[in-house]
């Protein structure tokens, strides 16, 4: 190789190198831009409202919701419950169809005759969720052991209270899920108004096929027939 050829060859190699580096830089920039673009796309998607079809419960089950006139405040789908933890992935009030039918009749009756409504705190509790609850509070004084099974897991129990026409809860003396003697239905050292509200709720629930338990003024179980436990978990879509 002549000296001049060597020089030309070197120059060519250097130029090729620069070209390669430039190319690489362009590619890196393109990748960076792509990431930025991706972020923007992701943000836009999150802000875009997504159509959700109404939830269809399985055969034999009914969802109590606002359309049916109920105030739905499923506390185990929030951390506003006695465990302080979120137990359910999302809130839904599902009940066996005839259990729901009686509550729908009662809701209409309360609305028409007393201008009152029903607020539900808990309804069907699938066994997997009962297990979660037990894992957080493994104490049979507060939570039914999953092996024994709760009436909620049969889709036959409902935790509820009464609300006025503005949605304000009637005074029942304690908050929902308050564990103490003040929440017992045979605890009578309470203001007259509270005693009357509790007595009214219990009487109406009994009239429509439900029975109370001694330790929780808010808990009622359907007593017209018995259902098996179930374990399906509702979809959150
Ligand atoms: Zn209950």
Give distance in angstroms: CA of 159 to centre of ligand 1. 5
Q: How far apart are CA 118 and CA 208, in angstroms?
A: 13
Residue 54, pLDDT score: 78
Q: What is the token pair recorded at 101?
A: 């039918």
Give distance in angstroms: CA of 191 to centre of ligand 1. 24
Q: Is 193 a catalytic residue?
A: no
pLDDT bin (cut points 50, 70, 90) of residue 170 is: very high
Give distance in angstroms: CA of 158 to centre of ligand 1. 6
Give distance in angstroms: CA of 54 to centre of ligand 1. 26
What phi and psi values does residue 212 have, to the nearest 5 degrees?
A: -85, 165
User: Which of 123, 103, 107 lies closest to 115 in space, CA to CA?
Assistant: 107
Residue 118, pLDDT score: 98
Residue 48, pLDDT score: 63
User: Which of 57, 180, 163, 178 lies closest to 116 in space, CA to CA?
Assistant: 163
Q: Indicate the pTM of the whole model.
A: 0.77
Give the residue extent of every domain in the chain. 1-50, 61-222
pLDDT tens string 37-53: 444 444 445 566 667 67
Number of H helices, E strands in the chain: 4, 7
pLDDT tens string 80-106: 998 999 999 999 999 999 999 999 999
pLDDT tens string 20-35: 444 444 544 444 444 4
Domain boundaries 61-222, corresponding CATH code:
3.30.1380.10
Give distance in angstroms: CA of 140 to centre of ligand 1. 14
Q: At what angle do helices 97-114 and 192-207 cross, to 10 degrees?
A: 130
Mean pLDDT score, 152-161: 97
Give distance in angstroms: CA of 127 to centre of ligand 1. 14
CA distances, 33 to each of 36, 37, 39, 43, 235 (Å): 5, 6, 10, 15, 37
Beta bridge partners of 219: 159
Strands (E), the chain: 61-63, 71-72, 94-96, 117-122, 157-163, 210-213, 216-222
Give distance in angstroms: CA of 11 to centre of ligand 1. 84
The DSSP output letter for 75 is G
Give distance in angstroms: CA of 61 to centre of ligand 1. 18
The residues, any chain, with a CB within 8 Å of residue 72's CB and separated by 6 or more, are: 64, 65, 66, 91, 93, 119, 120
DSSP 164-230: -TTSPBP--SS-TT--SGGGSTT---S-HHHHHHHHHHHHHHHHTTEEEETTEEEEEEE-S------
pLDDT bin (cut points 50, 70, 90) of residue 2 is: low
């Amino acid at each position: 190789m002549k000296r001049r050829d060597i020089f030309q060859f070197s120059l060519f190699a250097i130029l090729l190198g620069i070209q390669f580096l430039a190319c690489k830089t362009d590619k890196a920039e393109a990748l960076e831009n792509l990431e930025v673009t991706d972020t923007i796309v992701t943000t836009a998607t999150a802000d875009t409202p997504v159509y959700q079809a109404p939830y269809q419960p399985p055969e034999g089950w009914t969802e109590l919701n606002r359309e049916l006139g109920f105030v739905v405040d499923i506390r185990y789908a929030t951390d506003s419950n006695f465990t302080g933890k979120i137990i359910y992935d999302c809130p839904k009030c599902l009940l066996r169809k005839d259990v729901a039918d009686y509550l729908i009749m009662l809701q209409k009756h309360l609305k028409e005759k007393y201008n009152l409504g029903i607020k539900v705190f808990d309804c069907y509790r699938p066994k997997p969720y009962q297990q979660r609850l037990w894992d957080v509070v493994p104490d049979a004084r507060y939570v039914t052991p999953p092996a024994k099974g709760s009436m909620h897991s049969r889709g036959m129990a409902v935790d509820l209270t009464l609300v006025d026409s503005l949605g304000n809860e009637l005074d029942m003396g304690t908050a929902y899920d308050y564990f103490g003697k003040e929440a017992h239905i045979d605890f009578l050292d309470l203001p007259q108004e509270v005693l009357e509200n509790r007595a009214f709720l219990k009487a109406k629930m009994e009239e429509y096929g439900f029975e109370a338990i001694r330790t929780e003024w808010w808990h009622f179980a359907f007593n017209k027939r018995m259902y098996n436990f179930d374990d399906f978990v509702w979809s959150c879509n």
